């Protein structure tokens, strides 16, 4: 195996696809420190600057002191604390769902939910947006099922595929994200939920990048719908500044997952310090409209500035703004040149995005200010 590792790594290096880990140290919100220097951070998903919020830190420490650093067991054994149940009830209120269930991470939730759901429907047809997250692809293939992919955010294409391919299936699933992680565009959830209802399909929406940021009170785009998706998942690791994930849906759905979802059953419960941070974030987020407005205004001015410089930002209309470059090498060169100017924005390349669509993914935080956007635009103008 050592020889195979070496060959696989050499292959990646030869193709310019070798990846490595670069450490940063925390700095004030919106910035990180690298090699002793404070640099503007446009690559993190800490959209509301909560990862260093005193209220989250304080409750996290408090709960660690009161309940310890570990949950000691999985939820079904003796790992369920009062705090888990209380937070699940809080999430359900936040999302406007009947019930909610905590998961160790967003990746784990997606990887584990699909095998549990699809074991009830082995002849299902699963329609997924082409650009859904790697964890969703993983979950569906772990279930041993194939997916029918519709063109990104093209609901006409979805309807056409439903007409052609739904016949004979023993259940229909539609899977998408409310905000796409690498493009910063939104799905039309109103129309999508009508399509799902009309076809009797089970609708699954990943709100990783909308939770905390969009929708009434930051509860995500699905929270605004009168007719909610059947399963909404989201994370606490991005806008909510800590770690872990949730599934929101019916009580029966959550009860079923407790009984059938391996990633829930065979994994240790989230620990008290993480629960404390989640609990504090859930208290703060509904009141953060000013931060959400500021974030949206920053994103508008970033897009306007990029367009003035002749850059393409695709269909972005959220806090995630892709600067579409195309060639991998060019995206890497821009990222390096910006880092020399004190601005961190990692180049995103295949296989994370499609070949020829390498980009700088600019992710704003409400901790950023207009001067930060100006600094980036200035850096880009200089480095062309
Ligand atoms: C980040 C992300 C996840 C995974 O969440 P983690 O909590 O980081 O594991 C899942 N889905 C989408 C769309 C994401 O962007």
- Residues recorded for the chain: 384
For residue 107, the CA-to-ligand 1 centroid distance in Å is 5
Res 351: pLDDT? 85
Residue 158, token pair as written in the block: 């979805």
CA gap 128, 363 in Å, rounded: 25
CA gap 307, 323 in Å, rounded: 10
User: 3-state DSSP call for residue 165?
Assistant: helix
CA gap 349, 36 in Å, rounded: 27
| Ligand 1 pocket residue status of 135, Cβ below 6 Å | yes
For residue 315, the CA-to-ligand 1 centroid distance in Å is 21
| Ligand 1 pocket residue status of 361, Cβ below 6 Å | no
Contact criterion met (CB below 8 Å) for 283 and 355: no
Nearest ligand 1 atom to alpha carbon 245: 7
Nearest ligand 1 atom to alpha carbon 108: 9
CATH of domain 16-48+289-383: 3.90.1150.10
- Rounded to 10 degrees, the C-alpha dihedral 208/213/219/220 comes to -50
For residue 238, the CA-to-ligand 1 centroid distance in Å is 8
For residue 87, the CA-to-ligand 1 centroid distance in Å is 20
Beta strands at 99-103 and 37-41: parallel, antiparallel or unpaired:
unpaired
For residue 136, the CA-to-ligand 1 centroid distance in Å is 9
User: 3-state DSSP call for residue 266?
Assistant: coil
DSSP string, 73-84: SBIIIII--HHH
Please tell me the residue having the least CA distance from ligand 1 atom 3: 106
Probe residue for ligand 1, chosen from 131, 138, 140, 181 as the CB with the greatest number of ligand atoms within 8 Å? 181
Q: Give the fold, CATH level 3, of 54-286.
A: 3.40.640
Backbone torsions φ then ψ of 259, nearest 5 degrees: -90, -25
| Ligand 1 pocket residue status of 206, Cβ below 6 Å | yes
| Ligand 1 pocket residue status of 363, Cβ below 6 Å | no
Each of the 384 residues of the chain gets a pLDDT tens digit; together they read 999 999 999 999 998 788 899 899 989 999 999 989 999 999 999 999 999 999 999 999 999 999 999 999 999 999 999 999 999 999 999 999 999 999 999 999 999 999 999 999 999 999 999 999 999 999 999 999 999 999 999 999 999 999 999 999 999 999 999 999 999 999 999 999 999 999 999 999 999 999 999 999 999 999 999 999 999 999 999 999 999 999 999 999 999 999 999 999 999 999 999 999 999 999 999 999 999 999 999 999 999 999 999 999 999 999 999 999 999 999 999 999 999 999 999 999 988 898 999 999 999 999 999 999 999 999 999 877
Active site amino acids? 45, 133, 177, 181, 206, 209, 238
Instruction: List the domain boundaries for the chain.
Output: 16-48+289-383, 54-286
Res 148: pLDDT? 98
For residue 245, the CA-to-ligand 1 centroid distance in Å is 9
| Ligand 1 pocket residue status of 133, Cβ below 6 Å | yes
Res 15: pLDDT? 86
Strand partners of residue 359: 324, 348
Probe residue for ligand 1, chosen from 114, 138, 232, 237 as the CB with the greatest number of ligand atoms within 8 Å? 237
Residue 175, token pair as written in the block: 């899977």
Please tell me the residue having the least CA distance from ligand 1 atom 14: 208
| Ligand 1 pocket residue status of 106, Cβ below 6 Å | yes
């Amino acid at each position: 195996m050592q020889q195979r590792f070496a060959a696989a790594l050499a292959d990646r290096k030869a193709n310019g696809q070798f990846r490595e880990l670069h450490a940063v140290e925390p700095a004030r919100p919106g910035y990180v420190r690298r090699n002793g220097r404070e640099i503007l951070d446009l690559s993190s998903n800490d959209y509301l600057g909560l990862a260093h919020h005193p209220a989250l830190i304080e409750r996290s420490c408090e709960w660690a002191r009161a309940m310890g650093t570990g949950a000691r067991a999985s939820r079904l054994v003796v790992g369920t604390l009062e705090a888990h149940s209380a937070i699940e009830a809080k999430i359900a209120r936040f999302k406007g769902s009947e019930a909610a269930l905590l998961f160790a991470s967003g990746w784990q939730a997606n990887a584990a939910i699909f095998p549990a759901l699809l074991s009830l429907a082995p002849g299902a047809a699963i329609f997924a947006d082409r650009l859904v997250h790697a964890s969703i692809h993983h979950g569906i293939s772990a279930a041993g099922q194939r997916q029918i992919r519709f063109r990104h955010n093209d609901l006409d294409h979805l309807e056409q595929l439903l007409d052609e391919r739904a016949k004979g299936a023993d259940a229909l699933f539609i899977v998408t994200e409310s905000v796409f992680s690498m493009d910063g565009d939104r799905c039309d959830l109103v129309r999508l939920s009508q399509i799902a209802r009309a076809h009797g399909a089970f609708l699954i929406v990943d709100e990783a990048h909308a939770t905390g940021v969009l929708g009434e009170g930051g509860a995500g785009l699905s929270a605004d719908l009168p007719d909610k998706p059947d399963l909404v998942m989201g994370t606490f690791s991005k806008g909510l500044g800590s770690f872990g994930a949730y599934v929101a849906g019916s009580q029966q759905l959550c009860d079923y997952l407790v009984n059938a979802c391996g990633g829930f059953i065979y994994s240790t419960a989230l620990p008290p310090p993480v629960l404390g941070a989640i609990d504090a974030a859930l208290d703060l987020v509904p009141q953060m409209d000013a931060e959400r407005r500021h974030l949206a205004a920053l994103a508008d001015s970033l897009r306007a500035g990029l367009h003035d410089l002749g850059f393409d930002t695709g269909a972005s209309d959220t806090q995630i703004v892709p600067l579409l470059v195309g060639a991998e090498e060019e995206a890497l060169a821009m990222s390096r040149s910006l880092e020399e100017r004190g601005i961190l924005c990692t180049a995103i390349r295949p296989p994370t995005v499609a070949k020829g669509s390498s980009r700088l993914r600019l992710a704003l935080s409400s901790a950023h200010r207009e001067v930060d956007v100006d600094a980036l635009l200035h850096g880009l103008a200089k480095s062309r």
